[in-house]
Structure 1
Amino acid sequence: MDTYLTAGIAGRTALVTGASSGIGLAVARTLEERGATVLRHGLNEDLIGDLTHDLTQTGSGDALARAAGPVEILVHCASVQIRTDWSATTDAEVERQVRANLIESYALVRGALRPMVTRGYGRVVLMGSIQQHRPHAAMLAYAATKAAQQTLVSGLAREVASAGVTVNTVVPGTIATPRNEHALADPDYQRDVIAQIPAGRLGTPEDCVAATLLLCSESSAYITGQQIVVDGGMSL
């Protein structure tokens, strides 16, 4: 089964954004273990030598695509999430999330897709969020950007399918990542969250790897424009 999940990954060049921690780090490590050459993007100082474009800045998506050069696999995990109650969210906070999660993400994906279409092969996987299906009152702007991202995935997948390029989304549920560490440190909040998950536990970054690998592989050639939800049943 592992061979099926990773068919055609060895020897490919992949760009993984948000690869300094969490899901992006787990995906980057696994792609490397399976023989891919991985370009890691992130803002962590540990990523010296890789790509550190700040996607909240205008033009950063195009710049990142150019800096990475042609890749055969793009796994886009980087995003900005600002937790603020809907009644107190500022325009600046909304704009920051829209810039990073939608405008610059679209530019990055668009830039990566062009050479994929020319070559006749490519795999694009965007990391969604359970928020796009079950928006939290403190993350409405973030949830909206992830829902909009899925619209882009559906449209782009249709446009590039005939060129042998697939575009899909992995939708994680509540995952124990550094981003969620502060909120989940509250035992009452963590207990309430787990109570909503039929699997009875929080997810780990590694839980998201198998679905991502499948969508990066040659085995997923007939899967495009889709969402694979990895949430322990939370969305049921």
Structure 2
Amino acid sequence: MDAASKPPVDGRTALVTGSTSGIGAAIADALERAGARVIRHGLEPVDHAGPPSLAEDLAVAGAGARLASAARDLGPVDILVHSASVQIREPWHSITAEQMERQLRVNLVAFLELVQGLAPDMAERRWGRILAIGSVQQARPHPEMAAYAASKAAQANLVSNLAKQLAPRGVTVNSLSPGVIDTPRNRDALASDEYHRRVVGQIPLGRIGTPADCVPLALLLCSDDGGYITGRDLVVDGGYLL
């Protein structure tokens, strides 16, 4: 294969958090198919060909920094995809400090720690791709997921802040915000025919999304081809936010 025909992430090393299932797993699989060397992460190690997987509970203080250090030992890391997240359904008046802190630690603090640990080396090499998986709840928060929605809105703000600072060093920072996707997290709720019909009725394309729907945009934002896109929150939602 000549240079002109190589996949756009060929030879790059990617760390994908939360890559044991759902959107994270779909993106990790696609990056591998496109020629990247993928370091997978979850709460438990996964049996997968390629680099050793890394297990870390990102809700624990300092876990993002530890994960970044472990990934660097397997690196150098060129691409960071932060797909791991915690979503706790709770009415706003019943949210506990512990629930709020857990969601903020995984969805926001760990993301910052990972960028702090990995972006300086990307900047030194003058090439890097950072992608946070956001949520349409940044713009349309669910009434029973106030803490989750707030954490994702803060993550999007951090993306735009970091993007401006890292762009001069060849590092792009973006977020991809899925709509309603058929993942293990959503499967129980979507199993209700009434709820499923109600949700689909709010999606102009008329169906629930799949993790595969998120893959083409994720690959673009992680590749050479996406090198002129930074600081954006790009939505994959079948028109849900229209």
Please say whether Structure 1 and Structure 2 have the same fold, judged by a TM-score greater than 0.5.
Answer: yes
Does residue 84 in structure 1 map to residue 87 in structure 2?
Answer: no
Does residue 146 in structure 1 map to residue 152 in structure 2?
Answer: yes
Q: Determine the structure 2 residue equivalent to 1:57.
A: 60
Question: Alpha-carbon deviations, 1:144-195, whole Å to 9, x = none?
Answer: 0000001110010000101111000101000000011111111111111111
Amino acid at match of 1:154: S
**Larger deviation, residues 22-31 vs 98-107:** 98-107
Does residue 169 in structure 1 map to residue 175 in structure 2?
Answer: yes
TM-score by length of 1: 0.95
Partner SS state of residue 30, structure 1: helix
Whether the 8 Å CA contact 2:7–2:35 is kept in 1: the answer is no
Whether the 8 Å CA contact 1:7–1:219 is kept in 2: the answer is no
Does residue 10 in structure 1 map to residue 10 in structure 2?
Answer: yes
Q: Determine the structure 2 residue equivalent to 1:181.
A: 187
Q: Determine the structure 2 residue equivalent to 1:191.
A: 197
Partner SS state of residue 54, structure 2: coil
Amino acid at match of 2:17: T
Does residue 109 in structure 1 map to residue 105 in structure 2?
Answer: no
Whether the 8 Å CA contact 2:15–2:39 is kept in 1: the answer is yes
Q: 1:45 deviation in Å?
A: 4.9
Q: Determine the structure 2 residue equivalent to 1:41.
A: 41
Q: 1:235 deviation in Å?
A: 0.4
Whether the 8 Å CA contact 1:113–1:122 is kept in 2: the answer is yes
Partner SS state of residue 92, structure 2: coil
- Root mean square deviation, CA, Å: 1.4
Q: Determine the structure 2 residue equivalent to 1:31.
A: 31
Question: Alpha-carbon deviations, 1:23-79, whole Å to 9, x = none?
Answer: 000011111111110000012453574111100000000000000003101111001
Whole-Å Cα distance in 1 between the matches of residues 222 and 7 of structure 2? 9
Partner SS state of residue 111, structure 1: helix
Amino acid at match of 1:64: L
Whether the 8 Å CA contact 2:27–2:215 is kept in 1: the answer is yes
Whether the 8 Å CA contact 1:74–1:125 is kept in 2: the answer is yes
Whole-Å Cα distance in 1 between the matches of residues 193 and 55 of structure 2? 34
Q: 1:17 deviation in Å?
A: 0.7
Whole-Å Cα distance in 2 between the matches of residues 56 and 108 of structure 1? 13
Whole-Å Cα distance in 2 between the matches of residues 111 and 123 of structure 1? 14
Whole-Å Cα distance in 2 between the matches of residues 31 and 7 of structure 1? 10
Relative to structure 1, the CA distance from residue 47 to residue 86 in structure 2 (aligned partners, 3 Å threshold; closer, same or farther) is farther
Gaps of 5+ in 1: none
Q: 1:7 deviation in Å?
A: 4.7
Q: Which runs of 4+ in 1 moved over 6 A?
A: none
| Higher relative contact order (CA closer than 8 Å, sequence separation 6+) | 1
Whole-Å Cα distance in 1 between the matches of residues 183 and 106 of structure 2? 19
Whether the 8 Å CA contact 2:71–2:77 is kept in 1: the answer is yes
Question: Alpha-carbon deviations, 1:91-138, whole Å to 9, x = none?
Answer: 111111111111122111221111101111000111000111100011
How many residue pairs align between the two structures? Answer: 232
Gaps of 5+ in 2: none
